[in-house]
Every structure is written in structure tokens, then in C-alpha cells.
Amino acid sequence: MLENGQERRALTNFSTELNLTQIIKTPTRITATSQTLIDVILVSSTALVLESGVINTSISDHLPVYVLLKLKAPKMPACYITTRSYKNYNPSLFSSDLVTKSDRLLSILSNTKVNTILETFKDVLHSTLDVHAPLKTFKIRNRSCPYVTNEIKELMKSRDLHLRRFQLTRAEGDWVVYKEYRNNVKTKIKAAAKDHTFNEVREHKHNSRSLWKIINNIIPSKEKETQVYSKDPKRVAEDFNLFFTSVGRNAAATAESLAKDNNVALSNPLSNVITYPSDQLFNFQSVTCTEVQRIIMAMPSNKSPGPDKIGMRVIKDCLPIILGPLTRMINCSLMTSTFPDLWKISEVIPLLKEGDHEIASNNRPLSLLEVVSKVCEKVVLNQFSSYLKKFNRISSHQSGNRSLHSTETLNIFVTDTMLEATDNKNLTALILLDLSKAFDSVSHSILLHKLSCIGASPEAVKWFQDYLTGRSQYVRIGSTKSSARPITHGVPQGAILSPLLFCIYINDLPGSIQSCNLDSYVDDSKLYKSFCIYDLELTTINLEADLQIAAKWCLEHQLLINPEKTKFLVVGSRPMLQNVPTEISLTFLGKTIRPVLLAKDLGINLDSYLSYDDHISKLVSSCMRKLCQINRVKDSFDNETLKLVIETLVINKLLYCSTVWSNTSSNNINKLQSVQNFACRVISGVGKFDHITPALRELNWLPVEKLLLERDTVMAYKCFNGLAPDYLVINL
């Protein structure tokens, strides 16, 4: 670039065409015999260049180049949120103020229109709460440290004062005084942090999600990037709301298209639903104040409030005053078959799953409903669940949302079936079905018909109809809200009744299967059949036929079944599996499904041999990772709290569904024991090469092998004493 040669002319022409300027003018490579400029910096505007040049260094004869630009750092737009300010909130004063308006609350007791009752109830509650905890718009900032008290802040000021004094005087005495203050501040902060963490853990000891939040808050980590949107937040909120409200409708339309593309002849989904005797109909019963109080006190206080910005904490604070009117409102809703219109509005917060946060499909909608509406839902859930249990209306093949049932009991039953087949030198074909957006695509008309068939009285069906229809939602991003859009499909997201309603929706699916078995845990369904190797061809035909039946049933009910995510596993002993042809496959909705070696079902990683090697390896890795995280912050806990945290977050995870895989190899048991040993060392501080047995005894922890045996024994006791599902008891 120093000589007017061909290379210089080529670069000059190139930069001229692009309106760029080369700003390095001095040599960048200097030897004893030559000087060359072989490093360049091209800029589009020299007005932005403050300084440029070559840095002289003795490290090499090839010198680095630099440029300083006059650039304005883009200012991050402030993010605001509107919520109630509890800075000056006093529960006693709030309750006292509410008592002065008791006349308006008492007027509710003589009213029969639930929407009017709710309007009066909310008006009184809002007007009073607005005085004590007004709605304010806050700029989102980093939260101040919750355990740094005013006393500690004063000590920090004194510490900084003595540091400045030492910097001026450089006197040894001032340095000693500064160190005393510095060490005192460190000690105070450490003690305050430990006390704060102890209290937080005690308060949330039964909530693993809250415990992880506490631990993550004290683990040093990179700050999360603030999500900034390139488009107007209002436009983004509108686009997100359009996407979220159309998910169910689009899934139902896709299911219809899938049926047409695969020539699946759909029939009326209501034609084969079992109708129960009319002398056993379900009717709502009036609820007492005692029952409503019990429900409210059992609800967590730390959940986010709904659109009205009134949390459960406030409801509990003023419960003695509002209990009567609230009970009256719930009873009025049940007796008049009316679900209040204001309770049908939900606020949706987009939570990023992965990828670009500006793409709606990369976000999960978190739906927030008014907390008082959930009290009413809980009343309905308790009454309707009791009825369904009393008259045995839910299929025995459904384990979701039922007492004594769990993912563990269902996994035990299916695994036992496969092990029994293996003992008889047979194989088991296991197909894990995948339903996409199942809760969102439920048809209201079909669900209401099934509620009627399962035993709900016309009045109860009318209540459920009012509960399901006329709903709407808006999306909130910071303080920006979209307009409300109607929800035409699906059971309400985030609602207490939704899982039970979905179970009723698919209640007759298992009965439609002909040759195989089908069991479900809410929307997770599996189709399986044991067979002799000599019947492989016939079994394949039966599996495909039942897959077709299951697909037809789902598509008729507007549920989108996903053949690409459906897993096919053949389970058996190693010698028997060697006889299975490698080319075995199933045809399902135009897709070819081949057996896989590993598949995850209800939290258990299954393999074809039921050895659980893969499950144990992943489990050990996950638990060790959690223990390492906890170990980094263990100084923030005392031993008792640390033990509680590890038992809740690690040991419980380690033993999840242990009765299913407790027959795994001794090598796997040893891997699990290493996790327990490490957990014990974290709590007790025992060295790496010290004996662990005394420390385990001090913690009252059984070795893993005996712990698994104990859990197996407890499950056997439950089965023998009617504390387990019928499908486990009946085979004893």
C-alpha cells in the first residue's frame, strides 16, 4: 500500500466503489531491509474517526493497527411494569378500612345476579386497596439486596470514609481502622445473607421451584439480557396475541387436513360415547364459608395476580371480612349456572423457550387469571371429582388428576406388564403417542356433550358451558397491553379445572382400542401389546390397526396427533430381541415408524432391555450438576437448611419413580450411591478420601440399595392396603 502497485490500485478501486476510505497511512511491517503497509482499516465515514494509527511494539516486526470511533452507544429503552405498590401496605389498616365499607359488601348477600355481585365486590376491594396499595408504573431496575439492612449500609459508609482517609494520610493506623470496618462489614453481610436464605428456604421448603429460585439468586451467574424488541411493543403484543389465540383453531384445522390427506373417514365423535343412568346425575351443592376458607388458606400466596392485580396475599389478609360475600358469590355462580364475565379474561405473559424472542412460536404463553376465580374453580373441582370417583366414571386407563394415581403407579403397571412378557419369553411393542397442542384444541361442543354423558345434570352442563365460552385474553409485554381477542377452542390455560376437563374429553379413547392396551396420564398416551416372536406379523397388523383407530379417534375430536414424534420401542430380553428383524416398521398416517433403542416416557428413559442404564446415567449426571451448584453456595446455609435443600432438590429427583427401575444392575446402584455420597460430603464437609459411612449414619440416610428396598416395600404396603390404583391391586 506504500507503493503505487497493482495491489494498491485494486484495493483503492474496491474501496472507492463501496465509498470506503483507508485510514492507515504508516507501515505495519518493518524489517531491517523493508517497510510495508499490509494491514488496512476501511471506514465509511472519516468524520466518526477520532484517532487511528499503528501501535509500536517490540514483540514483533508486524505491528497492530487501531482505530477509535466516535460512536454513541445505543440506549436501551426503559422497561416499565404496572403493578401494585405494597411499600406502605399494612394488612391491619387495610382490613380496618374495609370494615367501614361492610354495608356495600353485605348488600351482596341479598343479590342473585353473579355479575352484579362481582362488580360490587371488586369495586369495594379495589377502591380500598387503591388507598393502601395503589397501582403504579415502575421502571424495572435491578433489585436492591434484600438482606443489606440500614445498619449494614451505615457500616459500609463508615468503611468507605476510613478508606478515603487512609488514601489521603497513608498512615498505618488509618489502614488498621479501615481493615476493621471492612472485615466487620463482610462478617455482617455474610451473617445477614445466611439468615435471609435460611428464612426463605424454611418458607418455601415444600416448593422445589421456589427453592431453585433461591439457590439461583445466590449462585454467581451472568446477568440475563434484557429482551428488547425491534418493533413497537404494542405491535409485538398484538402479533403474539393473534398467534396464541389461533393455536387451538389452527391445530384443529391441521387435524382435519391430516385426515383428508390420509383418507381417514371421520364420523360423528359423539356417536359412541357411553351415557350413564339419569338417576345418578351430578348437581352442584352450596358451599360453606368453612370450605371456602379452607380452600383459600391452602392456596399459595406468592403466585402472580391476574388482570385485577389483586394477589392471594391480599385476599388472605381481609378474609374474615370478605368471606361471607365471597361464599355468596360462589354459591350464586353455581346455583344460577353462570360464570362471571370478568373472570373469563386472562392476561398472558410470553416466556421465551429458546431462539429469537421476537418470534411468537418461540415463546410459551403464561396465562394469569384472577385468584378469586380459582377459588370458585377449586370448589367445582372438589365436588365434581368426588362425584366421578364415587360412581367410577373415569376410565381405569386414565391416571391423571386422580387420587392414589401418579406417573409412578402407571409406569409400574406398564413396566410390570412388559417384564411379565419378558419372563414368558415374549416381547412387548410399546408406542408412545404424541398429541400437539392438545389442551388448546379441545372442541367445546364435544366436551359439553361428554360432560352430559358422564353424568353432569343440565344445570351443571350449563355452568360448564358458561365457564368455557365467551373467554378472551390479552398479551402484556412490560407495561404494554394488546387488545383482547376471543378464545374459541381449548380448555382455559392456567385454570384449575382444565386437566380434569381434558381427562373427561379423552375418557373414551382407551375403549375404542381393539387388540392392544392403551393407558394415559392426562395427554400422555401409550399403546402397547405383548406377543410371541412367531406372531410378529400378526402383531404388526394389530398395532397398525389400533394406531389407525387411535388416529381416527383423535382427528374426529380435533386433536392433532403427530406421527413424526411418535416413538416405537420393542422391549424384551437380549436373546429374544435378536430374533426381531431389523427391517420391522409400522405405517402410521403415511409415515414409516421404525423401532428406537431409547425413548422417554413420563420422566423415565426407557431402553429395549429395561436395563435403565441410560436413565441412571442421565439421572446421575443431572443430580451431580445440581449438587455442584449447591456446593458453590453451601456457605450461605447452615447444615440443617443445606440438608433440607439437598433432600428436596436432589435426593427426591434421584428417587423419582424408583419402584419402576429399582431392579437395575448393581453397577447402576453404585452410580446412584456415588451421588448420595457426594451429597453427604457437601452437607457434612467430609473429605474426599475419608470414610462416608459414619457421616451417612449421622444424617440418618440409608444407603441407596436399602433406600430403594424401603420404597419398594412402601409401595407394596399401599397395594395390599387399598392405597394404590385398582390396576395395581387387582393383580395381587
Q: Which three cell numbers stand for residue 90?
A: 399494612
313-319: Cβ within 8 A, 24+ apart: 314/94, 314/125, 314/129, 314/133, 315/371, 315/372, 317/91, 317/94, 317/95, 318/91, 318/94, 318/95, 318/98, 318/125, 319/293
Mean pLDDT across the stretch 259-287? 87
Distance of CA 96 to the CA centre of its chain: 39
Please say whether the dihedral angle defined by the alpha carbons of residues 357, 358, 363 and 367, taken in this order, is positive or negative.
positive
Distance of CA 281 to the CA centre of its chain: 36
12-22: burial string, b at 16+ Cβ within 10 Å, e else: eeebeeeebeb
pLDDT at 26: 87
Q: Which one, of 15, 132, 162, 191, lies nearest residue 636 by Cα?
A: 191
Q: Which one, of 398, 455, 446, lies nearest residue 274 by Cα?
A: 455
pLDDT at 445: 94
Please say whether the dihedral angle defined by the alpha carbons of residues 497, 503, 504 and 506, taken in this order, is positive or negative.
positive
pLDDT at 380: 97
pLDDT at 226: 55
Top mean-pLDDT range of 217-221, 462-466, 634-638: 462-466
Q: Which one, of 514, 523, 596, lies nearest residue 550 by Cα?
A: 514
pLDDT tens column, 662-697: 999 999 999 999 999 999 999 998 888 889 999 999
Q: Are 234 and 482 in contact (CB under 8 A)?
A: yes
pLDDT at 476: 92
Residue 143 has pLDDT above 70, yes or no: no
Residue 227 has pLDDT above 80, yes or no: no
Amino acid at 356: D
Mean pLDDT across the stretch 329-357? 93
pLDDT at 105: 84
Please give the torsion angle defined by the CA atoms of residues 199, 201, 202 and 205, in that order, rounded to the nearest 10 degrees.
170
Residue ranges per structural domain of the chain: 6-69, 150-218, 234-284+339-604, 613-728
Residue 267 has pLDDT above 90, yes or no: no
Radius of gyration of the chain (CA): 33
Mean pLDDT across the stretch 297-324? 91
Distance of CA 190 to the CA centre of its chain: 32
Mean pLDDT across the stretch 271-290? 88
In the chain, % of residues over pLDDT 90: 63
Of the pLDDT bands very low, low, confident and very high (cuts 50, 70, 90), residue 17 is confident
**69: helix, coil or strand?**
strand
For the chain, the 3-state helix, strand and coil shares in percent, each to the nearest 5, are 50, 15, 35
Residue 262 has pLDDT above 70, yes or no: yes
If you search the block for the grid coordinates 428396598, which residue do you land on?
A: 709
DSSP secondary structure letters along 671-683? HHHHHHHHHHHHH
pLDDT at 225: 54
DSSP secondary structure letters along 509-540? HHHH-SSSEEEEETTEEEEEEEE-GGGHHHHH
pLDDT at 658: 96
Q: Are 626 and 606 in contact (CB under 8 A)?
A: no
Mean pLDDT across the stretch 3-26? 82
Of the pLDDT bands very low, low, confident and very high (cuts 50, 70, 90), residue 10 is confident
pLDDT at 273: 81
Cross-strand partners of 561: 435
Mean pLDDT across the stretch 176-202? 87
pLDDT tens column, 364-394: 999 999 999 999 999 999 999 999 999 999 9
pLDDT tens column, 511-564: 999 999 999 999 999 999 999 999 999 999 999 999 999 999 999 999 999 999
Q: Which one, of 315, 312, 306, lies nearest residue 366 by Cα?
A: 306
Q: Which three cell numbers stand for residue 303?
A: 403466585
Element housing 97 (H / E): helix 91-99
Residue 66 has pLDDT above 90, yes or no: yes
Q: Which three cell numbers stand for residue 560?
A: 392433532
Q: Are 427 and 530 in contact (CB under 8 A)?
A: yes
pLDDT at 661: 96
pTM of the entire predicted model: 0.81
Of the pLDDT bands very low, low, confident and very high (cuts 50, 70, 90), residue 9 is confident
Q: Are 398 and 520 in contact (CB under 8 A)?
A: yes
pLDDT at 25: 87
Of the pLDDT bands very low, low, confident and very high (cuts 50, 70, 90), residue 330 is very high
pLDDT tens column, 654-667: 999 999 999 999 99
Give the burial class of 266: count Cβ atoms within 10 A of its Cβ; 0-12 exposed, 13-18 middle, 19 or more buried: middle
Q: State how far the Cα of 391 lies from the Cα of 414, in Å rounded to an integer.
A: 25
Higher pLDDT, 346 or 192: 346
Residue 183 has pLDDT above 90, yes or no: yes
pLDDT tens column, 397-410: 999 988 899 999 99
